[in-house]
Amino acid sequence: MRFNWITTFAAPTLAVLTLTGAFYHGDRLSIDFPEGWAVTGPDKDELVTATEPGSVVNCNVQTRDLAALDKASLADVNADYGHVFTVADWADLLGQKLADITLERSDMSPFADTFFHTATFRMKVDATKEVSVRYGFYVLPGRISMAGCYVLTPDYPAYKVRLEKVVDSFRPW
């Protein structure tokens, strides 16, 4: 009985501590955001966002259920996604125009029984702005888990190592 009382009062505090630290462990995913960044979410779409205070640099992470993959086995998923993504694959995945993405690097590495896809690319925001993106995702039966970090392209060199580290820390569970 006493344990339930402690849990009732401690749970909200623990939830706040989870969101204020650099490490986020949430619904079927974990990621190590930079220390000191403000973390918000998850929102109604289960999106968690980390933003560097005083800047527009941000990273986000999300796991989404996909009905199209509900009946797929891991072998089916790996057969469909077990290749290094091309710029056309990335544009399709992200719902972007092919002409708006410039792929700088695309990699795939094994992770447990699946693959971790990562990429660095530039993407047009509008006619005058372009962002550089570090992105990673896993596809598993019934869901996709994604992480992305975004910064204006001229600022990317200053953030490159930090954003790669964030995306590389991303894990589904």
* pLDDT tens by residue, 58-86: 999 999 999 999 999 999 999 999 999 99
For residue 57, give every residue at least 6 positions away whose Cβ sits within 8 Å of its Cβ, in sequence order, or none: 51, 149, 150, 151, 155, 159, 163
Q: Under DSSP, is residue 53 helix (H, G, I), strand (E, B) or coil?
A: coil
Find the CATH number of the domain harbouring 8. 3.40.1000.10
Q: Which domain holds residue 157?
A: 2-172
Residues of the chain above pLDDT 70, percent: 88
Task: Give me the mean pLDDT over the 11-38 stretch.
Answer: 70
Is the preceding peptide bond at 42 cis, omega within 30 degrees of 0?
Answer: yes
Q: Under DSSP, is residue 65 helix (H, G, I), strand (E, B) or coil?
A: strand
Count of domains observed in the chain: 1
**Dihedral (Cα; 168, 78, 65, 151), 10-degree rounding:** 30
The DSSP output letter for 34 is P
pTM score:
0.84
Give 74-117 pLDDT, tens digit per residue. Answer: 999 999 999 999 999 999 999 999 999 999 999 999 999 999 99
